[in-house]
Amino acid sequence: MKKRMILPLIVIMLFTIIASACGNDASNNATSNSNQETAADTTSTGAAQEETTDTITYQSETGPVEIPAKPERIVALSNGPNILSMDVTPVGVDEWTAANPLFQDKLKDVAIVTDSDPESIAALNPDLIIAGSTAKNLEQLSKIAPTIVYTWGKLDYLDQQLEIGKVLNKEAEAQAWIDDFTKRAEDIGNEIKAKYGDNVTVSTIEIFEKEVFVMGDHWARGTEALYQAMKLNMPEQVKNDTLQEGYHSLSLEVLSEYMGDFVVVSRDMTRDNEIMKSTIWSNIPSVQNKHVIELETKAVTYSDPTTLEYVLNIFKEAFLGTTK
């Protein structure tokens, strides 16, 4: 009798064990499936997040432009020096940037491009194009790659650099340079005023062959550093006549009327200049006092950080006799 009872019990126990095992398998399978689905969802979400951070919307002066978050192949038809100053090398630059002696070492393997030849730009496979508002073929360029347009002079030299910082994903670096440069330049300006008086005046002219132009406070050639950052004064006649266009053409006969206590001369330093050998020139008081600071034109036609640091050191040495 006991043996008969034991057999059914064994059968019941085996059935219970098997049923339990099946239940655990089903539960494990369900958990595994659930984990796989969660992982898949997470992967999908991660991919979506990664995709959304591949580009940013840049608010340009012509409207929003979708650009790479970290552009790697930039064609700079304008603002090349601003880009180079942030340790980013474009794949193509305009001829004026390429000829600038301050950047030639960085541009040895960089193509020289022009807005007149969009095909050569397309051949560089750019992921971003930066151009001036007067550039040709802007519509065609925008079909090659996202294109940002800047109007020269619409932004001041500091805001322009900050905008380039945003484009390059280096806004904090751009702002740090702005804060540092403006402080150092103002300090140098204060030293100059302490040495020569608060009312000391500086004129900035460019001599091109037989023509002379006097510059306002935002026409490169070091003007942003002198008048905006260092806060030095320009003669009233210069201020009035450069107010609208930013520069003013001069005849040799009236040149002395526009000269300050100091004069900064932008010119081609590889050539002798007839104007600077003339009697009119030699009779200017600032010339007689040896208050003339000469700059190579090719190196100072931009207002980017590299150029501004370059001219600031020249001005510091010329005015104060000390280097950085």
Write out pLDDT tens, residues 37-72: 444 444 333 333 334 469 999 999 999 999 999 999
Q: pLDDT value at position 32?
A: 43
Is residue 279 included in any domain, yes or no?
A: yes
Together in a domain, 144 and 195 = no
β-strand pairing of 92-93 with 111-112? parallel
Q: What's phi and psi for 244, nearest 5 deg? A: -85, -55
Together in a domain, 204 and 91 = no
Q: What are 103's two structure tokens? A: 């950047």
- Pairwise CA distance, residues 122 & 108, whole Å: 20
Together in a domain, 312 and 208 = yes
Together in a domain, 190 and 298 = yes
Letter for the amino acid at 293? Answer: I
- Cα(first)–Cα(last) distance of the chain, in Å? 110
CA-based angle 78:147:102, to the nearest 5? 20
Is residue 190 included in any domain, yes or no?
A: yes
- Pairwise CA distance, residues 140 & 122, whole Å: 10
Asked whether residue 116 carries a pLDDT value surpassing 50, the answer given is yes
**Which of these three, 152, 172, 192, is where a domain ends?**
152
| Structural domain count, the chain | 2
Is residue 51 included in any domain, yes or no?
A: no
Asked whether residue 10 carries a pLDDT value surpassing 70, the answer given is no
Together in a domain, 188 and 279 = yes
Is residue 313 included in any domain, yes or no?
A: yes
- Pairwise CA distance, residues 324 & 317, whole Å: 8
Length reported for the chain: 324
At 201-218, the pLDDT tens digits run: 999 999 998 899 999 999
Together in a domain, 292 and 215 = yes
Q: Residues near 66 by Cβ (< 8 Å), separated by ≥ 6?
A: 55, 56, 57, 58, 146
**Among candidates 141, 153, 148, which has minimal Cα distance to 113?**
141
Q: pLDDT value at position 29?
A: 44
Q: pLDDT value at position 279?
A: 96
CATH number of 96's domain: 3.40.50.1980
Chain centre to alpha carbon of residue 35: 48
Half-sphere exposure of 214 (CA within 13 A, CB side): 25
Cβ atoms 268, 297 nearer than 8 A: yes
Domain span at residue 296 reads 184-320
- Phi/psi region, residue 125 (left: phi>0; alpha: psi -120 to 50; beta: rest), is left
Is residue 246 included in any domain, yes or no?
A: yes
pLDDT: which is higher, 201 or 6: 201
Q: pLDDT value at position 36?
A: 44
